[in-house]
Amino acid sequence: MAKRDFYEILGVNRDASDEDIKKAYRKLAMKHHPDRNPDNPKSEDHFKEAKEAYEILSDGQKRAAYDQYGHAGVDPQAGGPGGGAGFADAFSDIFGDIFGGGARGGGGRSNVYRGADLRYNLEVSLEEAARGAETRIRIPTMAPCEPCNGSGAKKGSEPKTCPTCAGHGQVRMQQGFFSIQQTCPKCHGTGRYIADPCGSCHGAGRVKQHKTLSVKIPPGIDEGDRIRLSGEGEPGVNGGPPGDLYVQIHLKAHSVFQRDHDDLHCEMPVSFATAALGGEIEVPTLDGVARLKVPAETQTGKVFRLRGKGIKGVRSHGHGDLLCHVVLETPSKLTDRQKELLQEFEEISQGNAERHSPRAQGWMDKVKDFFGA
């Protein structure tokens, strides 16, 4: 019987990525595993068929030969992969990511690891965020131990090959036809153990220190933005590359302005006389003082927009706006003469409330409707 197409077996396209092929095989292996289908004798055939397809398509050279010549290009009788990795090896490869193993070919996995990424919370003022700035931060870090030169072993001694994993850093567990590789519990994947640890770092090979870094804050940065400092995270293990440091930006509360992306908001106290008669007032901006004309009969809550007086964001093409919210200021500590004039004004206004206080009159009408008066 002619063999089915390997791509068809896994249910992937011929241009599928290695990751797509692995995911497809993992799904089929879980579905057709004999232990999960004891009453279905065909499950093992489907399982072996998927395994064979994965063995070919997960290997770059074998896949290229199969794409060019079909099954003939990978025929074991012609020196192909038919006698290659065993049943358990292929299975441990696909499930290595789940169970912590995954070394192929019995050669062991490299014990070189990238250092972890770190985060630093940095508070900046609104002015610094708007204009940009440069600041210095002091962060804790792990540095190689000088007495042992980062080896973790006491001076004059050196780490020894782990007897449990023979220096591979991985141990193989056999469970039936499963063969799963796991990190060695004795050396924790390093392949070596320290019989006589260094007194300074207690065998860790690293000690805690502090370092000072310069951080450039770009103009327009906003709350929650991050600045990446490449290579300033934790150092790698066994010569691996260091991680990165991410500086998380938080804006300090401002006494005048509140930021909303590229726009700024502020409350603008306006006297009773200016709001009623109109006038011109000074408004603060990040670039100085601007003058704003207040039209007569301005009500509290009115918002005036000053175009281009906001912030130019990091990813914006132009400046935002400044929105000034009018807050009508009630006069306090009145003199007798001021009280007399206001009382006279109130008496005059009561005769024509609809004209002088349209909002109050409209509100009273809604109250009467509510109570059915």
- Residue 42 covered by a domain: yes
Q: Is the backbone of residue 63 left (phi > 0), alpha (psi -120 to 50) or beta? A: alpha
pLDDT for the residue numbered 263: 92
Same domain, 287 and 243: no
242 or 358: which carries more pLDDT confidence? Answer: 242
Look up residue 224 and give its two tokens: 């929650």
Residue 129: pLDDT band (50, 70, 90) is: very high
Distance between CA atoms of residues 49 and 9, nearest Å:
7
Percent of the chain beyond pLDDT 90?
Answer: 17
51 and 139 share a domain? no
Of residues 18 and 186, the one with the higher pLDDT is: 18
Do 126 and 229 lie in one domain? The reply is yes
Residues 130 and 242 in one domain: yes
Q: Pick the most confident of 56-60, 94-98, 168-172, 366-370.
A: 56-60
Measured distance CA(362)–CA(180) in Å, rounded: 79
- pTM equals 0.55
- Give the pLDDT score at 368: 61
pLDDT exceeds 70 at position 67: yes
Boundary-marking domain end, from 251, 270, 300: 251
List C-alpha distances in Å: 107 to 53, 93, 123, 169, 171. Answer: 24, 13, 49, 10, 12
Does 71 have pLDDT greater than 70?
A: yes
Task: Tally the C-alpha atoms within 13 A of residue 253's C-alpha that lie toward its C-beta.
Answer: 1
For 276-283, what is the mean pLDDT? Answer: 87
Are 12 and 79 found together in one domain?
yes
* pLDDT digit string, tens, across residues 282-303: 888 988 888 989 898 888 888 9
Number of domains in the chain: 3
State the residue range of the domain holding 75: 6-84
- C-alpha dist (Å) from residue 191 to 183, 249, 348, 355: 10, 41, 95, 90
* Mean pLDDT for the stretch of residues 191-206: 80
CA distance 101 to 115: 20
CA–CA separation, 369 and 48 (whole Å): 81
The rounded distance, in Å, linking the Cα atoms of 23 and 57 is 12
Average pLDDT over residues 244-272: 90
pLDDT value for 195: 78
Provide the pLDDT for residue 206.
76
Q: Is residue 197 part of a domain?
A: yes
The answer to whether position 360 is within a domain reads no
Report yes or no on 343 lying in a domain: no
- At 344 the three-state DSSP class reads helix
DSSP label of 150: T
Residues 67-75: what's their mean pLDDT? 72
How far apart CA 371 and CA 16 sit, in angstroms, is 72
What CATH number did the domain enclosing 309 receive? 2.60.260.20
How far is it, in rounded angstroms, from Cα 237 to Cα 241?
Answer: 8
81 close to 55: Cβ distance less than 8 angstroms? yes
Residue 365 pLDDT grade (very low, low, confident, very high; cuts 50, 70, 90) = low
**pLDDT exceeds cutoff 60 at 78:** no
Does residue 101 carry a pLDDT above 60?
no
Q: Are residues 66 and 122 in the same domain?
A: no
Q: Are 140 and 209 in contact (CB under 8 A)?
A: yes
Looking at residue 87, its pLDDT comes to 40
Residue 174, in any domain of the structure: yes
Average pLDDT, the chain: 79
Check whether residue 126 and residue 180 sit in a common domain. Answer: yes
Q: What is the mean pLDDT of residues 67-91?
A: 54
Does a structural domain hold residue 350?
no
Residue where a domain terminates, one of 84, 103, 136: 84
Q: Which of 205, 235, 251 is the last residue of a domain?
A: 251
Q: What is the CA radius of gyration of the chain?
A: 37
Q: Are residues 43 and 68 in the same domain?
A: yes
Residue pointed to by tokens 């070189």: 112
**Is the residue at 371 inside a domain?**
no
Q: How confident is the model at residue 370 (pLDDT cuts 50, 70, 90)?
A: low
- The pLDDT assigned to 82 comes to 41
pLDDT digits (tens, 9 = 90+) for 309-351: 999 988 888 999 999 998 888 888 889 998 888 888 877 777 6
State the CATH number of the domain containing residue 148: 2.10.230.10
245 and 298 inside one domain: no
pLDDT tops 60 at residue 68: yes
**Residue range 79-104: mean pLDDT, rounded:** 42
Show the DSSP H helices in 58-131 as ranges: 60-69, 87-99, 126-131
User: Do 235 and 123 fall within a single domain?
Assistant: yes
Residue 65 sits in a domain of what CATH number? Answer: 1.10.287.110
Question: How many CB atoms lie under 10 A from the CB of residue 348?
Answer: 10
Can you tell me the mean pLDDT for 129-146?
Answer: 87
Question: Residue 86: its pLDDT value, please?
Answer: 40
Are residue 168 and residue 189 in the same domain, yes or no?
A: yes
Do 180 and 241 belong to one domain? yes
- Interatomic CA distance for residues 272 and 304, integer angstroms: 17
What's the pLDDT band for 124 if we cut at 50, 70, 90?
Answer: very high
Q: What single-letter amino acid sits at 290?
A: A
Angle formed at CA 45 by CA 40 and CA 46, multiple of 5 degrees? 85
Looking at the domain assignment, is residue 166 inside a domain?
A: yes
Mean pLDDT to the nearest integer, 346-373: 61
DSSP letters along 141-163, please? Answer: EEEE-TTTTTS-BPTT---EE-T
First to last CA, the chain: 94
pLDDT score, position 167: 77
Q: Give the residue from 27, 91, 31 showing the smallest Cα distance to 55.
A: 91
